[in-house]
Structure 1
Amino acid sequence: MTNYEIQTDREWWSQQWLDLLDKYRFKKRLERARNYARQGNVLSINFQDQKVQAQVQGTQSEPYEVSLWLDHFSDEEWGFVIETLSEQAIFSAKLLAGEMPQNIEEVFAANGLRLFPFSLDDVHAHCTCPDKANPCKHIGAVYYMLGDRFSEDPFVLFKLRGQSQEKIIANLRQLRSPSDEEPETKTQLLAEIETVNSYPPKVEQFWEYNEQLDPSLVVITPPASSDNVLNVLGSIPLETAANQTPGRSISASETVMQYLDTIYKNISQQAVIMALSRDE
């Protein structure tokens, strides 16, 4: 495996994945995971049945087995997403060029879905090491290495959501091409985009929209960022009790932070429920 290197010019979709991990509050464990990735401890990363299967060398002679996966979208949900993608040439052109469209999440949100995980809780992972924390440093190392995979191939994220690159491209071409014509090529798509962009917008009408909004397109979702006051302030500096069992993995500070984090998540969920239950 190639060692993980910190980059400042990553593609935005790769960086968004890594930002999810960087918000993890236990920074010491995060640093150990980053070092594992840098030092080449991730021996292999493979995809099996839309799951990531990896081997990570720890302190033992035998490497640990790591599994990582996301919730899959159904065929019906993917059908809605791809149909929405096909309605704008820019999406098809970007994907055909191996790039992730900047506002791709809007397409998924319009169908009541999220492409990128909202928080680490949305990423399922398992490691054979004895550490009960999740993510442990072995899982964290795989997270970092996946950031490189996303940078090389954005379709990896689609695959984790249950759809292959080949099927997405084939369906996009089919939806955008009449049945009696050849499939649309990337060159044709780019030409269509150029034609659309050739019409100068009228500044005085930029903020106007006179069409009736489709209620089905109004989707209430949690905020894109999971940052809260806990992430900003960091761990609470609580002293360890004198009678605490030696070698205990979770400190008093971590226990309190986990409790407060649960409260914040419950409040966020209640806010979404209240918004969905409003009549107006």
Structure 2
Amino acid sequence: MSRNDWFEPSRPIRVEGGIRARSRRGSIGEQWWSRRFIDILERVCDRGRLSRGRSYARSGQVLDLEIAPGLVTARVQGSRRTPYKVGIEIAAYDADRWRALAGALAAQALYRAKLLAGEMPAEIEDVFHRCDLPLFPDERELDMDCSCPDWGFPCKHLSAVLYVLAEAFDDDPFLVLAWRGMGKDALLGALRETGGGEEPAPARPGLFDVTDTPFTERMADFYEPGASPARLRDRTALPVAPPDLLLRTLDPPPLTARKIPILDLLRPAYQAFAESDDA
């Protein structure tokens, strides 16, 4: 085997049906979580290989991508006939750690509500840090491997997979958590069960609450009110708003009449309208 066989020519074999990055120019990653991931990579990885990796990602050279707890695997088509195998490992948290994380997330009503609605709150990273468990891997934790002969860190094939992974995070932020060991359905189930440790407030009977009774048993008194007229009249008095409240809240127009500001002329009129209403 000649020495040149260890180095791949610059042009990869074009493929059909690969995973093609949506971003055609500039940075890859639209949401805060994918940008956070990319920022870490671009801070620690070789910029030249990352640039070539973006070109690979945009041309669809990544053939497939699988995300499992602690491991991302992919195949990337280079210039050789056999695609290269890529693996990216991080620490996946065990059940006890995820139990603590789910409890910490559920304790924050806003975070819990956003996650149950399918959103990723930006403060979730702080919750992970308070549990001494990072959400995103740093350069020391990432264990990356590619079957190509390039010893650079990372090679262009790894870089392409990292960028495609970032766009997968764009589409589904729960993949970030699945990589750490907790799938979306399992996490949402844990959040529903935990409920933030809050007891539901006891239900208070409403003014118009009535017992549901079949119509055939209510024909005689169907049109009678469910509450007495006395209860309907018993209402707490609302505070009286000043008649010129609207004038106070709006910006004064730059108008005068005989050098008198227009608001000073309108206030007596509003007061007169209020008094005539009360009469």
User: Normalising by structure 1, what TM-score?
Assistant: 0.60
CA distance in 2, matches of 1:145, 1:25: 16
Q: Against the structure 1 CA distance between its residues 20 and 132, is the aligned structure 2 distance closer, same or farther, given a 3 Å change threshold?
A: same
| 1:88-237 pair list within 5 angstroms | 88-117=108-137, 119-176=138-195
**3-state SS of 2:119 partner:** coil
| Deviation (angstroms), 1:147 | 0.7
Bigger CA radius of gyration: 2
Alignment-derived partner of residue 106 in structure 2: 86
1:3 pairs, out of 20, 25, 31, with 20
Task: Give the match's secondary structure for 1:76.
Answer: helix
Distance 2:45 2:190 in 1: 41
Alpha-carbon separation, structure 2, partners of 1:25 and 1:50 = 20
TM-score, reference length from structure 2? 0.60
AA aligned to 1:155 is F
Q: Distance in 1 between matches of 2:120 and 2:82?
A: 37
Residues matched between the structures, number: 180
- Report the identity percentage: 36
Residue identity matched to 1:96: L
What is the rounded CA distance, in whole Å, between the counterparts of 2:196 and 2:120 in structure 1?
A: 22
Number of the residue aligned with 1:269: none
C-alpha distance 95-106 of structure 1, shift in aligned 2 (>3 A): same
The CA RMSD measured in Å over matched residues stands at 2.2
Alignment gaps of 5+ in structure 1:
182-280
Per-residue CA deviations over 1:150-191 (Å, capped at 9, x if unaligned) read: 01111111111111111110010001188999xxxxxxxxxx
**CA offsets, 1:11-47, max 9 Å, x none?**
1001111111211352211111111111111111113
1:73 corresponds in structure 2 to 93
Check conservation: 2:62, 2:76, Cα contact below 8 A: yes
Distance 2:81 2:171 in 1: 31
SS at the partner of 1:23?
helix
Matched with 1:55 is 75
Structure 1: 4+ residue segments shifted above 3 A: 6-9, 177-181
SS of match in other structure, 1:68: strand
Q: Answer yes or no: is the 8 Å Cα contact 1:54–1:67 preserved in 2.
A: yes
User: Any conservation in 1 of the 2:70–2:89 contact (CA below 8 Å)?
Assistant: yes
On the 8 A contact 2:71/2:179 being kept in 1, the answer is yes
Decide whether aligned partners of structure 1 residues 25 and 128 sit closer, same or farther in structure 2, where only a CA change above 3 A counts: closer
Q: Gaps (5+ residues) in structure 2?
A: 1-17, 201-279
Of the three residues 51, 62, 66, the one matched with 1:31 is: 51
- 1:15 aligned partner, one-letter code: R
Q: Distance in 2 between matches of 1:40 and 1:20?
A: 23
Once residues 187 and 161 of structure 2 are traced to their aligned partners in structure 1, the CA distance between those partners, rounded to angstroms, is 26
Inter-partner Cα distance in structure 1 for 2:47 and 2:29: 23
Secondary structure in 1 matching 2:44: coil
- Deviation, 1:98, is 2.1
Q: Is the 8 A contact 1:24 1:30 kept in 2?
A: no
Aligned equivalents of 2:130, 2:198: Cα separation in 1: 27
The structure richer in helix per residue is 1
Task: Mark the CA change 1:28 to 1:48 in structure 2 (over 3 Å): closer, same or farther.
Answer: same
State the 1:99 CA deviation: 1.8
Q: How far does residue 3 in structure 1 lie from its aligned partner after superposition? A: 1.7
> Given that residues 69 and 123 in structure 1 are in contact (C-alpha distance below 8 angstroms), is that contact kept between their aligned partners in structure 2?
yes
